[in-house]
A and B are shown apart, each in its own frame.
Chain A
Amino acid sequence: MKLLKAFWSKLTRPSKAAAGVVLFLGFAGGLLFWGAFNTGMEMTNTEEFCSGCHAPIVAEIQETIHYSNRSGVRAICSDCHVPHEWTDKIIRKVQASKELFAHFVTKTIDTPEKFKERRAHLAEREWARMKKNDSLECRNCHEFDYMDFSEQSSRSVQQHSTALASGEKTCVDCHKGIAHNLPDMHGVEGWQ
């Protein structure tokens, strides 16, 4: 309490230092804080960080085109599972506190058996999230306007030029399990 009072007293009295010095401290401190905060947040977006708890799921992507392909462009976990916009990202990070609680306290997926049992539920949540935002994370890289239908298979052209173009369907409606193994798809629309 005494420390708080001293802090408040310092805050409410003019400094003896030049205004330039005070402004510089605030400016430099602000830059350092913002840089450190965003660097810290970006560290939670790395594949190494995700692997800390989700190693088996992260390993699954290595068999897919999003990991290795002819052009060398690849996606990491956060590219698809974390919104890129700052405000949406913060909301997602706050929401992740529930996942940390589930991981460390309720331990809902701490064994392969428990994970397997819960996998369909977890996948469905992610599919629902992506359907709700019109597959935003897919569209961060894959832009419909620049799709060259002449390079696509006839089946893809048929779907993309109709259902996707009209907005009736979104990417994740068809492209499920593109980076991970699919869960039990019993009861999932279009996968019976």
Chain B
Amino acid sequence: MSTLESVIWHVLGYSAMPVIILGGFVGVAAVSIGILSLTKDKE
């Protein structure tokens, strides 16, 4: 693997980490809001 290819994969790999964590946050938030909407936060 060339240095350039290695750099590209490292950039993509490290970029994927915040995407995973933020994606998890959005997913958990969506489910939590859904659950809360069924009870206390019902409008």
Contacts and interface: CB of A to CB of B under 8 A. Distances in A.
A1 to B, nearest CB: 16
A118 to B, nearest CB: 15
Interface in B1-37: 1, 9-10, 12-14, 16-17, 20, 24, 27-33, 35-37
A7 B30 contact: yes
A30 B28 contact: yes
A91 interface: yes
Contacts of B29: 7, 11, 29
A163 B17 CA distance: 38
Contact of A34 (B24, B35, B36): B24
Contact of B16 (A7, A29, A90): A90
Contacts of B20: 37, 90
A95 B13 CA distance: 8
A9 B39 CA distance: 17
A21 B38 CA distance: 13
Contact residues of B: prevailing secondary structure: helix
A125 B39 CA distance: 56
A22 B28 CA distance: 11
B41 A16 contact: yes
Interface of A: 7, 10-11, 15-17, 21-22, 25-26, 29-30, 32-34, 37, 87, 90-95, 125, 128-129
8 contacts: A10-B33, A10-B37, A10-B41, A11-B29, A17-B36, A21-B36, A29-B29, A91-B9
Interface of B: 1, 9-10, 12-14, 16-17, 20, 24, 27-33, 35-37, 39-41
The 3 lowest CB-CB distance pairs between A and B, nearest first, are: A91-B13, A29-B28, A17-B40
